[in-house]
Structure 1
Amino acid sequence: MSAVKVIAVSSGKGGVGKTNVSVNLACQLARRGNRVLLMDADLGLANVDIMLGLKPKWNLSHVLDGKCSIEDVLIPGPDGITIIPAASGIKKMAELASEQHAAIVRSLSALSGDYDVMIVDTAAGISDSVITFSRASQYVLVVVTDELTSMADAYALIKVMNRDAGIKRFKVLRNMVNSHDQARDGFERLNEVAQRFLDVTLEYAGFIPRDPYLIKADTRQKAVSDLYPGAESSMAFRRLAETVDKWDMPSGPNGGIEFFVDRMFAKDAVAGAAM
């Protein structure tokens, strides 16, 4: 069975383009020949399907209610990716207990062996679901813009994940910045504070530039990688996918999605989580 990379894409606050990153990274990874599973883990305010103009019949709320299996909710997305949609506007889904989060992850074991990469688009902030899904992943990619609130909330997210989930290594992606220098400067500022006050390692994963074509693609409910492949943001997502492909393969119990499941249930799941 081939190994699978499980990447949680998180952010300290909403509005920083986290889901856009998840979608376009998934598409570019698929273009590189990976079999990609994109899970919408913003369980009560799902928007992956909305972003792509999809209208799924089933979603994770139906799996929890016992109305269908995890295989039934899978829908095809652009570039051959497969999407697990969540519910939108259903309050109970945003307030699930940890046991229910675990039930969702347990159902993923049925998909083991079918994918090379799994992208988990978490909710924004520091809710229990974000901590749980991030702890269960091998890599945590934190999306942060240059806004002071985004920087502060990213630091708070990293602090909580470190304290509550034992995660020690984080990948940091700078989004909606104007240049490479601005991206690096912002990362260094965040890294300096983290190194000073936290026992964590931050690794620079690259940046996505501010790009009007990205906004145009959003308006048309398409991935910018598909609609405007020559756009600056599309090329940046291509570089990000190249970087992700070079990350060392995780070494879980079975090297597959079982690793994600096992970490979900491990009482002492600690930070190999973002190797």
Structure 2
Amino acid sequence: MNQQMDQASGLRRMRQNNRVKVVAVTGGKGGVGKSNVTLNVAVAMAAQGKRVLVLDADLGLANIDVMLGLRVRRNLSHVLSGECTLDEVIVEGPHGLMIIPATSGTQSMVELSAAEHAGLIRAFSELKTPVDVLLVDTAAGISDMVMSFARAAQDIMVVVCDEPTSITDAYALMKLLTREYGVFRFKVVANMVRSLREGQELFSKLTRVTDRFLDASLELVACIPYDNNVRQAVRKQKVIVDAFPKSPAALAFRALANKVASWPTPNQPGGHLEFFIETLLQKQPVMQEEIRE
């Protein structure tokens, strides 16, 4: 018992020295620009010198590597099959951004068994690459895997656009996380809005429903303007913060990145599964002497 307590105190000291910010980016439905938000925030933070890792958690329809025009030889499926480690599948993007690619068009990755899910957790426990910020780009919908990734994060960014289905699906996502998994705080990104006022009205539409039916706290953290340059950047397989750095959307993404960087990183892991936080916080080896103290 004493040894376990000593070990825990050693891990707590490690958390204080090696804290990792973990943010899940989700949206309920597809087509709201979730991956675009993830990548632009990630690239903007990497350009500031942060060690940023993006996990493409859309395990069956991966697109993060395609959006950046990266050549990928191995992905998460190779980690799960035991062919390589998680560190070995990391590819480098703009400004030293690190990306863990998933696979595309593979049904088996969408329907991971309990053993395979455990294998993914073990893979993260062995990650050696130093990381400051982990951004998890989840799949659309409310599958068990989306729930797992969202619950494992310290902060959840819900991306919405001004469409009835987007608002409905975002509410369904938050309802499930709140009522079934005890997640009560959400940060909202109003994407592709025509004005700041439109973004605020979109947020009001969402909060009118959540305030009435959910015990949840929502915060509007960004209004990303509709910008034709986004489409042009996607065609170039670049992010808008690099391709058109002075465009309205690029400025908004950069401001959001600064805001994400300012969010506090708890000393203790949050959520229920905690495997991202727990293992990433332990990314530096512990000296045996420290454990025995």
- TM superposition score normalised by structure 2: 0.85
Please name the residue that 1:25 is paired with: 41
Unaligned runs of 5+ in 2: 1-16, 280-293
Mapped to 1, the partners of 2:26 and 2:57 lie a distance apart of: 10
The answer as to 2:142 corresponding to 1:136 is: no
The answer as to 2:41 corresponding to 1:37 is: no
Tell me which amino acid in the other structure corresponds to 1:52. Answer: L
Please name the residue that 2:235 is paired with: 219
Mapped to 2, the partners of 1:158 and 1:249 lie a distance apart of: 22
- TM superposition score normalised by structure 1: 0.90
Measured after TM superposition, the shift of residue 109 of structure 1 is 2.6
Partner secondary structure for residue 173 of structure 2: helix
Measured after TM superposition, the shift of residue 261 of structure 1 is 5.1
Measured after TM superposition, the shift of residue 53 of structure 1 is 0.8
Mapped to 1, the partners of 2:29 and 2:40 lie a distance apart of: 19
Partner secondary structure for residue 126 of structure 2: helix
Please name the residue that 2:8 is paired with: none
1:154-183 residue CA offsets vs partner (Å, 9 max, x unmatched):
001110111222111011000010111110
Q: Is the 8 A contact 2:269 2:277 kept in 1?
A: no
Please name the residue that 2:113 is paired with: 97
Number of residue pairs aligned between Structure 1 and Structure 2: 260
Please name the residue that 1:13 is paired with: 29
Find the partner of 1:65 among 81, 86, 95: 81
Find the partner of 2:250 among 231, 234, 243: 234
Mapped to 1, the partners of 2:155 and 2:128 lie a distance apart of: 18
Mapped to 2, the partners of 1:79 and 1:261 lie a distance apart of: 24
Larger radius of gyration: 2
Mapped to 2, the partners of 1:186 and 1:206 lie a distance apart of: 12
Mapped to 2, the partners of 1:234 and 1:98 lie a distance apart of: 40
The answer as to 2:197 corresponding to 1:181 is: yes
1:79-113 residue CA offsets vs partner (Å, 9 max, x unmatched):
21100000000110011134423421331233367
Mapped to 1, the partners of 2:73 and 2:21 lie a distance apart of: 28
The answer to which of 36-45 and 240-249 deviates more is 240-249
Please name the residue that 2:286 is paired with: none
1:208-246 residue CA offsets vs partner (Å, 9 max, x unmatched):
111000000011111111111111111010000111112
Please name the residue that 2:20 is paired with: 4
The answer as to 2:129 corresponding to 1:118 is: no
Partner secondary structure for residue 73 of structure 2: coil
1:111-167 residue CA offsets vs partner (Å, 9 max, x unmatched):
367111000000011011100010011111000000111011100111011122211
Measured after TM superposition, the shift of residue 260 of structure 1 is 2.3
Find the partner of 1:199 among 211, 215, 228: 215
The answer to which of 93-102 and 169-178 deviates more is 93-102
Partner secondary structure for residue 114 of structure 1: coil
Unaligned runs of 5+ in 1: 264-275
Mapped to 2, the partners of 1:259 and 1:122 lie a distance apart of: 16
Q: Is the 8 A contact 1:109 1:261 kept in 2?
A: no
Mapped to 2, the partners of 1:208 and 1:198 lie a distance apart of: 26
Percent identity between matched residues is 49
Measured after TM superposition, the shift of residue 259 of structure 1 is 5.8
The answer as to 2:224 corresponding to 1:208 is: yes
Tell me which amino acid in the other structure corresponds to 1:23. Answer: L
Mapped to 1, the partners of 2:158 and 2:118 lie a distance apart of: 22
| 1:51-62 alignment, distance < 5 Å | 51-62=67-78
Partner secondary structure for residue 71 of structure 2: coil
Find the partner of 1:154 among 160, 167, 170: 170
Please name the residue that 1:269 is paired with: none
Q: Is the 8 A contact 2:121 2:275 kept in 1?
A: no
